[in-house]
């Protein structure tokens, strides 16, 4: 009898730390493995806290020990596996469990031995029942990536069942290559590809100049009293409210500061009140202090009063703070934050992306939803503290830059998505809000601002339930 070594080889350790633990359930009667990434908006099940993906492994008797090793390795490397030998009790409905797992799974791994393929071709045994379920799924979506064949102990033809079509498989036939193939599988399941597709460049023979990225407008920029781009424009001092020279001067200072750190990704906020107010610099500072939302840990409008070089200072007709942290800092991580406010209530912020502390070329969709929700909560607090009436209106512009080549993914393991890459650099959204209704409309406003941003990542969309859950959790003091 061959001894199965359950030690963990170091080869797959490369994927650790990039995604948290997905979950896997294992089942034994037929030769398949199914993994599930739960869809957004579904009712949660009573799972372990580390669980990100549910799933099902269905395995054949001939490969019981080998699949036990594979399941153990997947669990050791971040896939929360539940094996039938560990968890399936006598008396349970095996067929119902198998059907439920395959239909509800997002990814299904089929271990294709010669015996499994033969039974699939003839439609015999449990494999024939499984084939009916899988074929129905494939017919509904011929391009689905849900089913991944794993070839094992099958030297003949066909290597995989014909009902799977010409799908690319992972060949586990040679035990000498087990570590390499296991890492290939883990990278696919954990969304950590070895190579990412680069953004499309410029045709060097076209003679055309590169196009500047077009900002995405939710409503038109705020000027005048006319309607442009579906949004009402308001007049303040005869100019574009959020394009006034004060904002452009603040942007010039901030872009110079962030460039000195070599950071190219950033979020920019511009808030402008349509009503005229006039506040002292001390009133501005107190309003910023009292408006901060500390749930995320590094609030918008941060005031580091105990560090002289970073604390807010008066200048011109307002106040400002610049916090530039280099790699030589105790944390070893660089970041940039610049904000300014002036006496009429205008507010400007430019900050480096939190994601750059976690990895290169990433953007976390749930972090972006949280940050935009925080921005709207800060704006509501800020103008309320400044004494603006509930019927006051304000313009809010949220811009993200340095997006090209970034992969949209999740900050944590409880909301996994398949990474998608942006080929555009800039997203810019502007909306007009009523101060007294900002709490009531917050979830929809966050969605309107972030939807165009996510659309740049290969048309990524999220359901209303995702926005509702993330924003409401943040309002309660949680991040997810």
Main-chain dihedrals φ then ψ at residue 54, nearest 5 degrees: -100, 165
Q: How many CB atoms lie within 10 A of CB 375?
A: 23
End residue of a domain, out of 139, 165, 189: 189
More confident residue, 158 or 475: 475
Q: For 28-83, how does the pLDDT look when each residue is reduced to its tens digit (9 = 90+)?
A: 333 344 433 333 333 333 333 333 334 334 444 556 788 888 888 888 877 766 66
End residue of a domain, out of 168, 189, 210: 189
Q: For 353-401, how does the pLDDT look when each residue is reduced to its tens digit (9 = 90+)?
A: 999 888 789 999 999 999 999 999 999 999 999 999 999 999 999 999 9
Of 97-101, 140-144, 291-295, the poorest mean pLDDT is in 140-144
Could you tell me what percent of the chain has a pLDDT over 90? 39
**Statement to judge: residues 171 and 272 lie in one domain:** no
**Statement to judge: residues 341 and 413 lie in one domain:** yes
Average pLDDT of 158-184? 82
Q: For 243-265, how does the pLDDT look when each residue is reduced to its tens digit (9 = 90+)?
A: 888 999 999 999 999 999 999 89
Average pLDDT of 76-91? 74
**Statement to judge: residues 405 and 260 lie in one domain:** yes
Indicate whether 407 belongs to any domain: yes
**Statement to judge: residues 176 and 297 lie in one domain:** no
Indicate whether 205 belongs to any domain: no
More confident residue, 78 or 444: 444
Give the contacts of 443 (CB within 8 A, at least 6 positions apart).
467, 468, 471, 472
Indicate whether 81 belongs to any domain: yes
More confident residue, 4 or 354: 354
Nearest to 34 by CA among 47, 21, 42, 25: 25
**Statement to judge: residues 239 and 144 lie in one domain:** no
Residue 245 CA: distances (Å) to CA of 248, 251, 277, 346: 5, 10, 18, 12
Q: Is the pLDDT of residue 329 over 80?
A: no
Q: Is the pLDDT of residue 18 over 60?
A: no
**Statement to judge: residues 458 and 351 lie in one domain:** yes
Indicate whether 393 belongs to any domain: yes
Q: How many CB atoms lie within 10 A of CB 430?
A: 24
**Statement to judge: residues 182 and 236 lie in one domain:** no
The pLDDT, as a whole number, for residue 58 is: 43
Name, of 43-52, 329-338, 405-414, 442-451, the range with top average pLDDT: 442-451
**Statement to judge: residues 273 and 388 lie in one domain:** yes
Average pLDDT of 204-223? 47
The pLDDT, as a whole number, for residue 234 is: 46
The pLDDT, as a whole number, for residue 228 is: 37
**Burial class, 173, CB count within 10 angstroms (exposed 0-12 / middle 13-18 / buried 19+):** middle
**Statement to judge: residues 258 and 126 lie in one domain:** no
End residue of a domain, out of 142, 167, 189: 189
**Statement to judge: residues 180 and 234 lie in one domain:** no
* Omega within 30 of 0 (cis) for the link into 224: no
The pLDDT, as a whole number, for residue 120 is: 63
Indicate whether 274 belongs to any domain: yes
Mapped onto helix, strand or coil, the DSSP state of residue 130 is: helix
The CATH number assigned to the domain holding 68 equals: 3.40.50.10140
- Give the long-range contacts of residues 257-263, CB within 8 A, separation 24 or more: 257/322, 257/324, 257/336, 257/338, 258/336, 258/338, 258/350, 258/352, 260/324, 261/324, 261/326, 261/334, 261/335, 261/336, 261/352, 262/334, 263/334, 263/335, 263/336, 263/352, 263/353, 263/356, 263/402
**Statement to judge: residues 324 and 410 lie in one domain:** yes
Name, of 6-15, 197-206, 302-311, 441-450, the range with top average pLDDT: 441-450
Indicate whether 219 belongs to any domain: no
Indicate whether 6 belongs to any domain: no
Give the contacts of 271 (CB within 8 A, at least 6 positions apart).
345, 346, 347, 348, 379, 382, 383, 394, 395, 396, 397
Number of domains in the chain: 2
Residue 289 belongs to domain spanning: 227-475
DSSP-H helix ranges across 105-260: 114-122, 125-140, 178-189, 245-260
The pLDDT, as a whole number, for residue 269 is: 97
pTM: 0.55
Average per-residue pLDDT for the chain: 76
**Statement to judge: residues 263 and 407 lie in one domain:** yes
Indicate whether 480 belongs to any domain: no
């Amino acid at each position: 009898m061959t001894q199965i070594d359950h030690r963990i080889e170091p080869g797959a350790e490369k994927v650790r730390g990039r995604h948290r633990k997905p979950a896997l359930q294992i089942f034994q009667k037929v030769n398949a493995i199914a993994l599930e990434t739960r869809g957004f908006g579904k009712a949660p099940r009573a799972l372990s806290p580390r669980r990100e993906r549910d799933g099902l492994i269905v395995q054949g008797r001939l490969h019981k020990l080998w699949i036990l090793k594979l399941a153990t390795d997947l669990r050791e490397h971040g896939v929360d596996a539940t094996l039938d030998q560990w968890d399936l009790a006598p008396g349970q409905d095996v067929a119902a469990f198998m059907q439920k797992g395959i239909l509800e799974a997002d990814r299904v791994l089929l271990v294709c031995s010669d015996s499994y393929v033969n039974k699939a071709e003839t439609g015999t045994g449990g494999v024939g029942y499984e084939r009916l379920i899988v074929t129905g799924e494939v017919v509904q979506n011929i391009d689905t990536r849900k089913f991944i064949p794993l070839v094992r102990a099958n030297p003949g033809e066909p290597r995989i069942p014909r009902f799977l079509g010409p799908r690319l498989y992972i060949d586990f036939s040679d035990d000498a290559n087990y570590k390499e193939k296991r890492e290939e599988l883990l990278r696919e399941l954990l969304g950590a590809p070895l190579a990412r597709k680069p953004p499309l460049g410029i045709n060097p023979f076209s003679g055309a100049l590169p196009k500047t990225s077009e900002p995405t407008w939710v409503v038109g920029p705020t000027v005048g009293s006319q309607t442009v781009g579906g949004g009402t424009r308001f007049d303040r001092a005869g100019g574009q409210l959020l394009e006034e020279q004060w904002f452009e001067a603040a942007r010039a200072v901030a872009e110079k500061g962030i460039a000195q750190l070599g950071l190219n990704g950033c979020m920019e906020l511009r808030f402008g009140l349509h009503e005229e107010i006039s506040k002292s610099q001390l009133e501005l500072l107190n309003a910023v202090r009292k408006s901060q939302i500390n749930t995320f840990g590094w609030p918008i409008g941060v005031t580091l009063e105990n560090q002289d070089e970073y604390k807010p200072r008066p200048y011109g007709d307002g106040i400002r703070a610049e916090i530039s942290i280099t790699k030589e800092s105790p944390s070893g991580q660089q970041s940039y934050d610049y904000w300014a406010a002036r006496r009429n209530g205008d507010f400007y912020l430019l900050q480096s992306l939190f994601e750059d502390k976690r990895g290169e070329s990433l953007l976390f969709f749930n972090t972006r939803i949280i940050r935009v929700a925080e921005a709207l909560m800060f704006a509501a607090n800020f103008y309320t503290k400044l004494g603006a009436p509930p019927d006051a209106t304000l313009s809010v512009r949220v811009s993200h830059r340095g997006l090209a080549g970034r992969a949209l993914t999740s900050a944590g393991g409880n909301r996994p998505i398949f990474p998608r890459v942006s080929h555009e650099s800039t997203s810019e959204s502007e909306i007009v809000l009523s101060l007294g209704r900002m709490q009531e409309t917050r979830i929809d406003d966050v969605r309107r601002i972030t939807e165009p941003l996510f659309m740049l990542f290969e048309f990524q969309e999220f359901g209303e339930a995702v926005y509702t859950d993330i924003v409401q959790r943040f309002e309660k003091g949680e991040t997810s």
